[in-house]
A and B are shown apart, each in its own frame.
Chain A
Amino acid sequence: MKSNRDRTEIVVNRRFSIQFMTALAALLIATATFASPPAKIALKGGRIIPIVGEDIPVGTILIEHGKIKAVGKDVEIPYDAMVVDVTGKVVMPGMIDAHSARGLDIRNENLDVTPFLDVYDAIDPSKLYFEDALRDGITTIHAIVGHNCVIGGLSRAIHPIGITPDEMTQQPSVSLKLSVAPQNRSDRMAQLATFRETFRELAEYLDDLAETKYEESLEKKDEKIKVGPDEAKKLGKDLIKPEDYDDKHRNLVKLTGGQLGAFVYAGRAADIAAAESLAKQHGFFDQTTLVLGPRCYKAIEEIKATGRPVVLDSQLLYREENPITGKITETFIPKVYADAGVAFSLLPSGDTSLAERYLNYQAARCVRNGIARKTALEAITINPARAIGIGDRFGSIEVGKTANVVVMSGDPLDFSSWVDLVYINGIRAYERESDVRLKQLLGEEKPEIPEQVKGEKNEGAPVDPKAGHSKGDADKLEAPAPNEMTKDAEKKKE
């Protein structure tokens, strides 16, 4: 339950969200020129890391109408293409955040079972997170509710540009969120009992619905029921139309019918078996992606046997102390998965003050700990795309795919490399030259402080981030939902 104090905070933060919305929209429009993009763009002279296929030391990418038309060493550039010289730079597909609740105003509802929700209603385009994501080279975000639920709402794949959720959406209704690991308001017994109850209730609902439909169909024909209820349930099954389902059950029917993906969170090794049996029992195993807490690596054999895509927690190192000897052992988690041959996706940390917030840093850590470069790069591009189910459109530089491309000043795993340019759908969404906030942060440009804001500042009220505050401060304004905070604390405890 939220305390009153928390509530006021949210209200205050909402107010600021609205304030920023306009300021931010202006900023986004300034940096991103998505009014009438050129139909043909050629990125020429850079080193291309296509992820799928061999690296091209010096090559050209031709983008036509937001799609990649050609990639290669010798690509013929049409006369009407806008040529962008990226000589000496590195071109790679936009990175993908496979699981993030940071674009939502609140991570979770305070009900356990909420399959009727959609993150569409929670996405806050004014969140600084989106601006950061763009700056960090992330072009696709799987916006999904947090782990604090039993069955959460629908997720969607979005890109970090646009001023409405509709504009941002790349793929709606990607998956339903499920969590077999209890969070702060539940325990494992209750968590799993709620799952059983939910699916049992679904079956009961479907039976009742079938019976009703059958009765209705007979009424239309002015006939009387001649069969018992069990027979009626059977006969009525085929009479149900998609629009007959109520809000509470519609998405669950889609899930069990294989029309919807499932992102299932498992917090520890013992949860894997529970997640697997749940998915298999209710028919969504083939659409399941496992979102795994740090301790899950112990069940690597089981995870490997499922053959499902895997999204790893941003905490990559696990420390364990032997209670008898006090000896501490450390495990670099992705190495366990890489050694077992399980394809995994990496997540950036939600803590923006850490280097772990950069996906390419997470990948670089993997390489440093003995994972092949190719595997590490796949874990931030094509693997998350496949886990979300959009691997055919995103995650690599291949002919026919959406032109989500990042141009970096150097190798992506070199931590002194910057993101120079970001193209989303062939639109130049970000250029470092025009990144005002970055320049302010680096002290290259003095911030302009509007008069009235100056006044507010003296009163100790939060200030427009545009008005020259350090990034850390700016992030604090990003409405941290109270249960998000407690959840982080919980996580640390674990």
Chain B
Amino acid sequence: MISPTVKLRRLKTRAFALALTALALGTTPTLADGDSFVIKAKRVYPVAKESSEVFEPGMVIVRDGLVVAVGKDLAIPPDLKVINLKDAHVVPGFIAAANSMTPKHAGDESVAAGYLALDAFDNYGDFQEALAEGVTTVHLDPGSHRLLTGQGAIVRLGGSPMSRILNERSDLTINFNESAYGPPNDVTYQTPASSDVAIPPGVRQRPDSRLGQFVALEEALRVAESGTKSGLHPAALTNAWRNNAPLRIHVDRSVDITGAVRFLYNHKRSGYLVGGAQADITAQEIAEAHVPLVFVMGEPLDAISNDLGPDPDVVDRDIQALKKLRGATIALAPPAGARVDQLRLSAATAMRAGLTEAETLAAITRIPAEILGIDDRTGSIERGKQADLVIMSGPPLETSSHVKRVYVGGLVAFEAPYVDAVVVHAGTIWIDENTRIEDGSVLIEKGRISAVGTSVPRPRFADYIDAGANSFVTPGFIDAFGHLGLDGDTSSLNPNLSLASMVGVPDVSEHRVAMSGVTTVLTAPYAASPQGSQIAAIKTAGTTRDKRLVRNAASVYFDVRKGDPAGVLGKLKPRLEAGKKYLEKWQKYEKELAEWKEKKAKGEKIEIKKNGDALDEEAQEEDPITGTWEVTISGGPIPEPQQAKMLLKLDGADIEGRIRIPGQPDEAKVTATFDGKHVSGQIDVETPFGPPAIEADLTEPDHLVGELKISDIVIDLDATRTDKEDVQFKVVKSRKRGKDGRPLPPKTDDGLEPIRAALEKKIPLLIAASNQQQIAQVLKLASEFEVGIVLLDAEGAAVHFEKLIELAIGVVVPTKIVRWLNHTPYHQADDLSRKGVSVAFQSDAEDGARSLRNLGLHAVQRGMSPDAALSAFTTRPSKMFKLEDEIGSLKKGCHGDLVIFDGHPFEARTRVKRVLVGGEEVE
């Protein structure tokens, strides 16, 4: 039956779900296109020219691919979707102003302005490696192997292929470097060649020396200025020169830097330098001339460099140079020959020279944009610029930070592959009652904790949660006895039934409990069956059944509170004995199987008996079932009572037999279990509703009363034993063997399986007891059967504390933390834990479990130590239920269930900030 309150609750749940669906289906206005959105992030670095302000938390509003607004707290336009990236650091796309993305051209000409770097650009390329390190814009270079190699271009690496070109002819590329010396002779082939059309000898080209480079260039420029010489390259140079193309001059040596600066001054040309290995010597000159420099870092990070550089006194030339260059306009570029994806990290090494984080970040974003003349479009996150955004997992220049996503022009150009890993960094990490780490991290991979400590691995693309210095991380709380998900069903449960069958997708009430920090509930029925009811350890969050189920049968719940002290064990003991027999059967089977395997391994011949091995005779003192029964069935749809005959045979707790049901031509097989009083089983007959079930009680010797159930139809059953011999029905009980002589396992009994597990000490029994006498009886039983036990409520437990410690029995204390005992207030949890007994808290409620932490608050207020209270929510219950390798602590191997608080969980002001279950955030 469903109570009205439960019905109401279910209705509410449904209404909530419906509201959610309605929301998703668009009761809100239609959202704008893909390149319009709002990003909310932990921190936004606009890298603006005027101020180096960082917004924390920050927001960026993007419309049609352009940044509309950036700030801390902006009004969100109603038509834009909000992308909430609460751990993300957002920086402008990085710009590689010098790189080796384009190969050098294959021409021989020393001065050849007709080569366009853009021709070598594949605008359909996906550039995932560069984007994965945040590089969104690059300068393309026609090469640095000739004096004037051609014209550069500036492109972005994402967006639609046709929109990627920012400047197709951005500059004239000049090299005052040794690499440009000694160009090959320039040969013009006369085609078609013939005997009278000779191939002329090659023309020697300049430069061969430092002097030659200036002569050759000046000469070429004079010709270009006059515009008289025909040919592709001279014409291109004339054009570029007349259009005032900026000069991009590659220089490394100090003399050449001086020469380049003078060259720019003489020709009154705008331009910039690239390289600058010896810029330290000419730093002042560069700064005074206001010539910007794209400083190419010298040390590649992915290889050991044997090139010590020209100056033997310089140990680390990058730092030397950058220190002296303070004050000049400097952009940073990855080492020559290195891939652009090294830009971020090699730039970060510049901070060794004293650059601040803001300066370094600007040197790979805003400053290169200014130098390249694209600062009106990109280089910073400011109103009106392209939304070239890099979403990072941590501070942009920190080594372990990873790029999670990249937008180019508001479109996603890179999305980090999904990695089932998350790192949580916190001020305090409470692993268990003995260990806590200050300023440490937890790594959760594939749902389990794989590392915890002050320094943990940060797998590439893993999520990163920096909870802050004040944060306090604990294992997910465990409700040691709750009813979450039962939806008010207060009936006791059949011992065969597993609660795990009700586990599905978490609903609203489970979500609320999870958000409160309670991640696992030992879910029990409201009332225990006399034969014991199964308890399941179920998580409050998780997308699949497997993720939610910690243990199917975590315990068996018995209740001895109501019985008189002497009769307490009347119900419990036979069940344990039945379990013991069942266990022995299995042990025997396992032994035989082991022997068989050994024999097989040795290659011995295995004899296969036809009738199997004879079963050992079991002395049966008194058999209440075996024999012939006259059955009367009546009621339900049957108009008149009908007679039937049933032959039964009892074997241990199993009943086998046959029955002739009226209206059925043949005899049907009966299988049932017997626990001393109750017969529960089924008749193997095909009906549309499945086989009919028998439930009957032995009301007096030789008399069974009960019912026969087919779907909803209930038929009364009344049977009397007329003969105790199983004359007509003889079961040849034999232990069956498989075809290869392998022993076959005994029949599985779902009800006894958990008892067997308990007897094998895999799980404990949960026994609700209250007074001292009941507890004494339970303790006696525990010793006798050597079975693990957890006591529920157990108000009188304190007297037996020594025994409890000896037998390692824990107590789940009642929800009433302090009660009156002998006219004084008594704090059971505190008392027991001080005495050394394991204590756990329970909610004894469904979604009331969300207030579970309040019990701890209360307990601490009345004197319990905060750490003892915390362990009573985490490590203690997990140990009691032998789940310590699964949940309840933050040690390696446990489930990634953790709660991030902004202080100690038992400070009243402390809030639950975030909850992770199986490494996935509950939100």
Contact = CB atoms under 8 A, between A and B. Distances in A.
A122 interface: no
Given A323-B128, A323-B129, A324-B132, A188 B119 contact: yes
Nearest to A185: B106
A194 B654 CA distance: 94
Contact of B122 (A111, A247, A268): A268
Contact of B161 (A114, A189, A196, A269): A269
Q: Which of B119, B125, B150 has the most CB of A within 10 A?
A: B119
B229 to A, nearest CB: 12
Given A111-B189, A193-B107, A200-B235, A270 B115 contact: no
Contacts of B825: none
Contact of A114 (B116, B132, B191): B191
B129 A200 contact: no
Interface string A321-339: 0111100000000000000
Nearest to B143: A189
13 contacts: A113-B191, A187-B104, A189-B105, A189-B106, A189-B119, A190-B115, A192-B116, A193-B232, A200-B231, A268-B124, A269-B122, A270-B123, A270-B161
Contacts of B231: 197, 200
Interface residues of A, number: 32
Contacts of B142: 189
A196 B106 contact: no
Interface string B195-236: 000000000000000000000000000000000001110010
Interface string B153-173: 000000001100000000000
B417 interface: yes
A270 B191 contact: no
Given A189-B142, A270-B124, A299 B161 contact: yes
Contacts of A193: 105, 107, 112, 114-116, 119, 232
A111 B112 CA distance: 21
B150 to A, nearest CB: 7
A197 B114 contact: yes
B718 to A, nearest CB: 69
B826 interface: no
Nearest to A189: B105
B119 A274 contact: yes
A196 to B, nearest CB: 5
Contacts of B112: 193
A15 interface: no
A30 B191 CA distance: 44
A269 B121 CA distance: 11
Contact of A204 (B116, B120, B230): B230
B235 to A, nearest CB: 7
Contacts of A247: 192
A324 B417 CA distance: 8
A477 to B, nearest CB: 31
Interface in B399-457: 417
A446 interface: no
Query: Would you list the 6 A-B pairs with minimal beta carbon distance, nearest first?
Result: A269-B124, A189-B105, A197-B232, A192-B119, A270-B122, A190-B106
Contacts of A191: 119
A60 to B, nearest CB: 50
A116 B197 CA distance: 16
Interface of A: 111, 113-114, 116, 185-193, 196-197, 200, 204, 247-248, 268-270, 273-274, 295, 298-299, 302, 322-325
Given A193-B232, A196-B232, A323-B129, 4 more contacts: A116-B192, A189-B116, A189-B117, A270-B122
Contacts of A187: 103-106, 120
A298 B124 contact: yes
Interface in B84-120: 102-107, 112, 114-117, 119-120
Contact of B120 (A188, A269, A299): A188
B115 A189 contact: yes
A248 B190 CA distance: 10
Q: Which of B102, B122, B235 has the most CB of A within 10 A?
A: B122
Nearest to B112: A193
A187 B145 CA distance: 15
Contacts of A114: 191
A175 to B, nearest CB: 20
B474 to A, nearest CB: 35
A191 B105 CA distance: 9
Nearest to A182: B106
Nearest to A268: B122
Given A190-B115, A193-B107, A325 B417 contact: yes
Nearest to B116: A189
Contact of A248 (B116, B132, B162, B192): B192
A323 B142 CA distance: 25
Contacts of B119: 188-189, 191-193, 274
B173 to A, nearest CB: 12
A248 B192 CA distance: 7
A380 B142 CA distance: 42
Interface string B710-749: 0000000000000000000000000000000000000000
Contacts of A268: 122, 124
Nearest to B131: A324
Contacts of A273: 123, 162
A181 B112 CA distance: 21
Nearest to A191: B119
A295 B125 CA distance: 10
Contact of A196 (B102, B114, B230): B114
A191 B107 CA distance: 10
A273 B128 CA distance: 23
Interface string B180-198: 0000000001011000000
Contacts of A196: 114, 232
Contacts of B102: 189
A134 to B, nearest CB: 35
Contacts of B115: 189-190, 193
B617 to A, nearest CB: 65
A200 to B, nearest CB: 6
Contacts of B162: 273, 302
B128 A324 contact: yes
Contacts of A323: 128-129
A324 B403 CA distance: 12
Nearest to B124: A269
Contacts of B107: 189-190, 193
A103 to B, nearest CB: 23
Contacts of A298: 124, 161
Contacts of A186: 106
Nearest to A116: B192
A114 B235 CA distance: 24
A15 B162 CA distance: 52
A75 B403 CA distance: 73
B29 to A, nearest CB: 31
Contacts of B129: 323-324
Nearest to A274: B119
Given A197-B231, A324-B417, A189 B150 contact: yes
Interface string B126-143: 001100100000000010
A270 B107 CA distance: 21
A456 to B, nearest CB: 39
A163 to B, nearest CB: 28
A268 B122 CA distance: 8
A407 to B, nearest CB: 44
Nearest to A269: B124
A288 B106 CA distance: 28
Contacts of B123: 269-270, 273
B142 to A, nearest CB: 6
Contacts of B192: 116, 247-248
A190 B108 CA distance: 10
A478 B211 CA distance: 56
A299 B124 contact: yes
A480 to B, nearest CB: 26
Nearest to B192: A116
Nearest to B230: A204
